[in-house]
Amino acid sequence: MSMTILTVDDSRTMRDMLNLALSEAGYRVVHAIDGEHGLEVLRAEKPDIVITDINMPRLDGYGFIEAVRDDPGFRNLPILVLTTENAPDKKERARKAGATGWIVKPFNAEKLVSVVRRVAA
């Protein structure tokens, strides 16, 4: 049985790129269009890993990560941040919120899959 990865990103193009890279690597991919939707999909699908953007409408990535970590059932869920941001203070804020790792867009599909395999192990 393949692992399920939840991608949370308001960009349809980014969701499509993630879907292609991850499904070709054998993962089942489910999507959410922002942090609020991400929490709904998270509870319904119970993914093995989450990949989230930071800058999104309704609920940004920081708020989404904090909400996930507030749920005891998801405290140990690996959460990767995939964003155009690379400022050290933003990375630190994500880490404090509970992010497992950080990947800068645009991403390389092979490197992304490698990071996913690492955090899933």
Residue 49 belongs to domain with CATH number:
3.40.50.2300
pLDDT at 120: 84
pLDDT at 108: 92
Domain that holds residue 99: 4-120
Picking from 18, 104, 23, 91, the residue whose alpha carbon sits closest to that of residue 32 is 18
121 has pLDDT over 80: no
Tens-digit pLDDT profile for residues 72-93:
999 999 999 998 988 999 999 9
pLDDT at 1: 59
Picking from 37, 31, 42, 51, the residue whose alpha carbon sits closest to that of residue 115 is 51
Tens-digit pLDDT profile for residues 1-51:
589 999 999 999 999 999 999 999 999 999 999 999 999 999 999 999 999
Number of domains in the chain: 1
- Cα(77)–Cα(24) distance, integer angstroms: 22
